[in-house]
Amino acid sequence: MQGGASLINAISQGLGGPKVLDDVYRPVDRPTDPYAQAGETIGGYLVPGAGVAGNMVIGSLADAANQRGDFAENAAINAGLNIATHGLINGVTRGVRGASNIISGNKTSAQRATTAPTETSPFSGDAAAATNPAVHAAEARVAQGVPMTPATRNPEEVVRTVAAQKRPNLASSLDELDINPQAEVLESAERLNVDSLLPSHFSGNEQYKAVEQAIKSRAGSALQVQENEAIRQLAQGAGEIIDRVSGAKDALGMSDKFIDTVNGRMSALMKRSDQLYRNVEKAMPAGAKIDAPSTRSMLKQVAEDLGGMKNLDPIEKRVFRAVNPGKNGALTYANLNKQRRLVGDALHKNSGPYKDADRAALSRLYGSLADDQKAALSETNALRDFEVAQRLVQMRKSMEEQMINLTGRTLNGDVSRKATTALQAMSKGDAKGFRELMQNTPSRKLRTELLGTGLRDMLSNGKRGADFNPAGFADWYQNMLANGQMRNLARHLPKETMSGLNDVYKVAKAIKDAKSYEITTGRLNEFVKRFNRVTAANEFVANHAQRIGTAVGSTVSGPFSAVGAVAGSEIGAKVASKIRAMGGAESIESAEKLISSPEFQKAARLAVKQAPESIVDTTVRRSSAWRSFYNSLPESDKKTISRLGIMYWMNSDDNQK
């Protein structure tokens, strides 16, 4: 029994330390059951989470068991060499001293070993939530003048470390990860009912984005599923904003509605103007004799300017003869009205006998004939009806011209397509098409509806939520801002629509920026291999685990020696697997579970609101999802976490502890 004490003392002295054990160290009898004997022999060293330094002792023991000479001295020499190789002298010294306290049976040490997990664990449930260790650690750091973060680690390393813990102190861990959640992104997402954003979507830390998106790039990743859901929710939110102003469910429907609406308005204008003209005709008999001094004077002046009546255009000569019938003739109201209408058809419809006439001549004639007609009606009660009818006709003519500009001469073109094209051109700085579209759309309501449909058509192939591309929307919106075209768009859309589009932009840009860190096959394989790497120290211990098991089995004597060897072999294999997992062999799976868990994502969101650490910690402690991430730590490390916090511990080296 003294061999164990000699072993510990030899290791300590081999490292330049004192003799740490007394000669008598066993307060109870040695167990007789072979499995209990094996467990006792290995238990002091293969405790879960003994750490790299503690586990290094195991390899030393295994080597010493297979060497000639004194076992204790060989173990001390091996420990010194192994530790020097890996630069972990401080850590193994703590491991030796910890082992001496346990083996010596010292009451105080035993009590500490028993109660420490409850007293120092940052994951102790409701009691810990009531007296938050993170708060105490922060206060201790301030009181002792200890910096908040002794060093800065790569987020990849932090994710690996935190994912390996059962119930990590997320308040501290997130501080070190420095996710830096962007409040405006989360606020916009909330207004759009997008609740599936990944932390990388709202993170302001480019390094963290790169790590999370690399993990997400793996085939079948749960993070990819969540990202797809976030994009779907964003598409739905954008679609709802556009639907509130769009005039139809799709581009074709909007074009049909636009044409039907404008045609309906033109028809209504024509119907009303015809009614007013009938009122005028009733007030002014068709055969009433009138004069046309304005038209006659205008044509005489033109003829004089051109050198005689023979130089007038055919239409001017014809109208001049109509308004100057001679002594034997008379100009009637019906004939004056006829001449004005024929000139109007040629001018506005490009039809009738005067359709090929000079446009300038037609315009002069129409104005003068209208003036003469008004003068004739001034002596009746029909003048106002005539003036209103004229304005209505002009409105109808204007709408007809606008329709031709938008849909072509056949009046059946795709107006929505013009809206889509105009919006796309605006982002490139070309607003000509947009201005023409707005000028030729006869009402504000139609302009708003047309733009809404154009936006949908541009961003999602004409259907609600279909193929929504966050990157495409973000690029379009950003270019609109850069070119100063967003102000032009805002003149024709409601304020709430513009505000909603701005929310969509913020979230879409956040997703786009995060997705820019996606990686493909070659780089992905390298990343996974690096992330899952087993640390050199853990691999060293794992390689010796089987030999340790054999050594343990050999200590079982008597009729159970064969059973002891088998048990030792099984223990060695299991320990090797466990150690490799602790060293990182399953890190990327654990990291994905960590990041995709509701607790992690909730904690990341709470950080932006500066929630107390106790709230974040309580959320984590009460979740069973973290148990698979937890690995025990050496007692000294637990004390460091209790005193100064997990973030300080993760960033500290052995000397700082």
For 197-213, the pLDDT digits (tens) are 999 999 998 888 888 88
CA separation for the pair 628, 63 (Å, rounded):
32
Same-domain status, 373 and 293: yes
Q: Walk along the chain (657 residues) in steps of 10 and give the mean pLDDT of each run.
A: 47 48 47 44 39 46 49 46 40 37 38 38 39 57 54 62 62 65 94 94 89 86 92 92 79 74 84 89 86 92 90 89 85 90 83 83 90 89 89 84 69 73 92 91 88 82 60 94 94 95 96 90 69 52 50 43 46 52 59 77 70 47 44 57 50 50
CA separation for the pair 233, 227 (Å, rounded):
10
Q: Hey, is 14 helix, strand or coil?
A: helix
Q: Other CB atoms closer than 10 Å to residue 484's CB: what's the count?
A: 11
Q: Is residue 189 part of a domain?
A: no
**Location of structure tokens 């932090």:** 158
Count of domains observed in the chain: 3
Give the pLDDT of residue 503: 96
Same-domain status, 458 and 368: no
Q: Is residue 226 part of a domain?
A: no
Q: Is residue 116 part of a domain?
A: no
Q: Hey, is 54 helix, strand or coil?
A: helix
Q: Is residue 85 part of a domain?
A: yes
CA separation for the pair 200, 178 (Å, rounded):
11
Give a three-class secondary structure readout of 356-396: CCCHHHHHHHHHHHHHHHHHHHCCCCCHHHHHHHHHHHHHH
Q: Hey, is 181 helix, strand or coil?
A: strand
Give a three-class secondary structure readout of 443-498: CHHHHHHHHHHHHHHHHHCCCCCCCCCHHHHHHHHHHHHHCCCHHHHHCCCCHHHH
DSSP assignment of 84-131 equals HHHT-HHHHHHHHHHHHHHHHT-HHHHHHHHHHHHHH-TT-THHHHHT
CA distance readout (Å), 150 to 165, 171, 315: 21, 17, 96
Give the pLDDT of residue 469: 87
Q: Is residue 84 part of a domain?
A: yes
DSSP state of 12: H
| b/e map 568-603, b = 16+ CB within 10 Å | beebbeebbebbbbbbbbbbbebbbbbbbbebbbbb
Same-domain status, 542 and 455: no
The amino acid present at 626, given as its one-letter code, is W
Q: Considering 364, 379, 394, which residue would you say is the last residue of a domain?
A: 379
Give the pLDDT of residue 547: 52
Same-domain status, 470 and 506: yes
Q: Pull the structure tokens for residue 273.
A: 């103007």
Same-domain status, 12 and 91: yes
For 287-324, the pLDDT digits (tens) are 889 899 999 999 999 999 999 888 988 889 989 988 88
Choose among 177, 225, 224: nearest CA to 204: 177
Report angle CA 326, 330, 335 to the nearest 5 degrees.
Answer: 120
22 is in which domain, residue-wise?
2-104+535-580
Give the pLDDT of residue 634: 58
Q: Pull the structure tokens for residue 536.
A: 């050199």
Same-domain status, 311 and 365: yes
Q: Is residue 415 part of a domain?
A: yes
Q: Pull the structure tokens for residue 252.
A: 């074709």
Q: Other CB atoms closer than 10 Å to residue 60's CB: what's the count?
A: 25
Report angle CA 38, 41, 44 to the nearest 5 degrees.
Answer: 130
Give the pLDDT of residue 42: 39
**Dihedral angle of Cα 160, 163, 168, 169, to the nearest 10 degrees:** 50
Same-domain status, 540 and 467: no
**What is Dmax (Cα atoms) for the chain?**
152
Q: Considering 379, 397, 422, which residue would you say is the last residue of a domain?
A: 379
Q: Is residue 90 part of a domain?
A: yes
CA separation for the pair 194, 241 (Å, rounded):
14
Give a three-class secondary structure readout of 273-333: HHHHHHHHHHHCCCCCECCCHHHHHHHHHHHHHHCCHHHCCHHHHHHHHHHCCCCCCCCEH
Give the pLDDT of residue 368: 93
CA separation for the pair 351, 373 (Å, rounded):
22
Q: Is residue 92 part of a domain?
A: yes
CA separation for the pair 208, 200 (Å, rounded):
7
Backbone angles phi, psi at 184, to 5 degrees: -65, -30
Report angle CA 405, 409, 414 to the nearest 5 degrees.
Answer: 65
Q: Other CB atoms closer than 10 Å to residue 178's CB: what's the count?
A: 16
Q: Other CB atoms closer than 10 Å to residue 187's CB: what's the count?
A: 15
